[in-house]
């Protein structure tokens, strides 16, 4: 039976490498170093999204579905980013799952590859591009690699016709989650509120998984009855879990999701 792993990453500015790259002195506060990087990026790119070599991964939240199990878990820095990435890549090698993520092809994979290169880690990122989802249950044929939700859910080439993910989730009866915000994440991190980042990241994973199920139904890869079963299994897992994100998510999740 195949396995799927829904991923969401949380990053903050890589302050030591920003100092190194731009020759900023050691006496400059971390907050000022990060602010310098954000302002520079706004001037050059128009937004706060730092290039991958200046983003430090501090949290990876996952929802694993396969082998009769469904599990929500998060990996934090532990002994540092290299330790976090090492544990993540070991998990991926162990499960050999299909990776499901928002912007999997343009963000998740290249970011992880860039950070692995900086640390000299074997990422094992040989994921081929996947056009179709590999269903994480049942006996359907598998397509290994990545499943990029953002690529599948553009709903057309016209930008005005695209649906913001949180808005789509709300209309579908799925608890929505906010998009990652680089500046906000940094501010929360500086306040020592890593638990808040974890809750937001896990909530995005749960939202993305339920949207993924709806996409499988819409594409005819599973029946609506199978989606309902998967939702019941997830509810049971969340009800059992003591994680703050799980409890908050299930409290916001209507007992009967709206139909497609």
- Domain span at residue 111 reads 3-252
The domain tally of the chain equals: 1
The stretch 89-104 carries a mean pLDDT of: 90
Assigned token pair, 91: 């998990």
Residue 256 clears pLDDT 70, i.e. is over it: no
Residue 260 in domain? no
Residue 87 in domain? yes
Alpha helices in 5-80 (DSSP H): 15-22, 30-45
Helices (H), strands (E): how many in the chain? 10, 5
In sequence order, what are the residues at sequence separation of 6 or more whose Cβ sits closer than 8 angstroms to the Cβ of residue 164?
A: none
Residue 183 in domain? yes
**Predicted structure pTM score:** 0.88
Give CB contacts under 8 A, 24+ apart, made by 93-97.
93/124, 95/3, 95/5, 95/64, 95/66, 96/3, 96/144, 97/2, 97/3, 97/4, 97/5, 97/64, 97/66, 97/136
In sequence order, what are the residues at sequence separation of 6 or more whose Cβ sits closer than 8 angstroms to the Cβ of residue 169?
A: 175, 176, 177, 207, 210, 211
What is the per-residue pLDDT for 151? 83
Residue 242 in domain? yes
The stretch 15-36 carries a mean pLDDT of: 95
What is the per-residue pLDDT for 158? 54
For the ranges 98-107, 112-121, 197-206, the lowest mean pLDDT is seen at: 98-107
List the strands of the sheet with 69-76, edge to edge: 69-76, 55-66, 3-13, 98-101, 146-148
In sequence order, what are the residues at sequence separation of 6 or more whose Cβ sits closer than 8 angstroms to the Cβ of residue 238?
A: 72, 206, 246, 247, 249, 250
Instruction: Check: CB of residue 124 under 8 Å from CB of residue 90.
Output: no
CA distance 173 to 54: 37
Helix, strand, or coil (residue 158)? coil
The stretch 207-215 carries a mean pLDDT of: 94
What are the pLDDT digits (tens) for 113-171? 999 999 999 987 666 555 555 566 543 333 347 888 888 877 655 555 555 788 889 88
Higher-pLDDT residue of 14, 160: 14
What are the pLDDT digits (tens) for 175-200? 999 888 889 999 999 999 999 999 99
Q: Interhelix angle for 244-252 vs 224-240, to 10°?
A: 130
Instruction: Check: CB of residue 245 under 8 Å from CB of residue 199.
Output: yes
Residue 133 in domain? yes
CATH number of the domain that 102 lies in?
3.30.420.10
What is the per-residue pLDDT for 139? 37
Q: pLDDT over 70 for what percent of the chain? A: 86
What is the per-residue pLDDT for 142? 36
| Closest C-alpha to 103, from 236, 213, 227, 6 | 6
CA distance 227 to 210: 9
Mean of the per-residue pLDDT values of the chain? 86
Number of neighbours of residue 44 by Cβ within 10 angstroms = 9
Residue 92 in domain? yes
Q: How confident is the model at residue 31 (pLDDT cuts 50, 70, 90)?
A: very high
What are the pLDDT digits (tens) for 41-83? 999 888 889 999 999 999 999 999 987 889 999 999 989 999 9
Q: pLDDT over 90 for what percent of the chain? A: 61
Assigned token pair, 209: 């998984």
């Amino acid at each position: 039976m195949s396995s799927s792993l829904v991923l969401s990453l949380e990053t903050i500015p890589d302050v030591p490498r920003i100092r190194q790259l731009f020759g900023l002195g050691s006496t400059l506060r971390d907050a000022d170093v990060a602010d310098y990087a954000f302002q520079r990026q706004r001037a050059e790119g128009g937004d706060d999204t730092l290039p991958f070599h200046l983003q430090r991964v501090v949290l990876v939240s996952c929802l694993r579905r396969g082998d009769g199990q469904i599990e929500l878990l998060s990996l934090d820095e532990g002994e540092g980013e290299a330790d976090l990435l090492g544990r993540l890549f070991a998990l991926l090698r162990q499960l050999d799952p299909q990776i499901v993520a928002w912007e999997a092809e343009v963000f998740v994979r290249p970011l992880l590859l860039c950070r692995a290169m900086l640390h000299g880690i074997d990422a094992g990122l040989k994921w081929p591009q996947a056009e179709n989802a590999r269903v994480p249950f049942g006996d359907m044929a598998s397509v290994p690699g990545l499943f990029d939700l953002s690529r599948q859910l553009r709903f057309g080439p016209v930008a005005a016709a695209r649906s913001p993910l949180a808005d789509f989730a709300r209309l579908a009866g799925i608890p929505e989650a906010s998009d990652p915000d680089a500046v906000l994440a940094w501010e929360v991190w500086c306040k020592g509120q890593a638990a808040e980042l974890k809750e937001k990241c896990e909530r995005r994973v749960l939202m993305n998984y339920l949207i993924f199920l709806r996409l499988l139904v819409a594409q005819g890869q599973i029946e609506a009855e199978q989606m309902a079963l998967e939702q019941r299994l997830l509810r049971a897992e969340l009800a059992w879990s003591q994680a703050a994100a799980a409890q908050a998510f299930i409290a916001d999740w209507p007992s009967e999701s709206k139909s497609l």
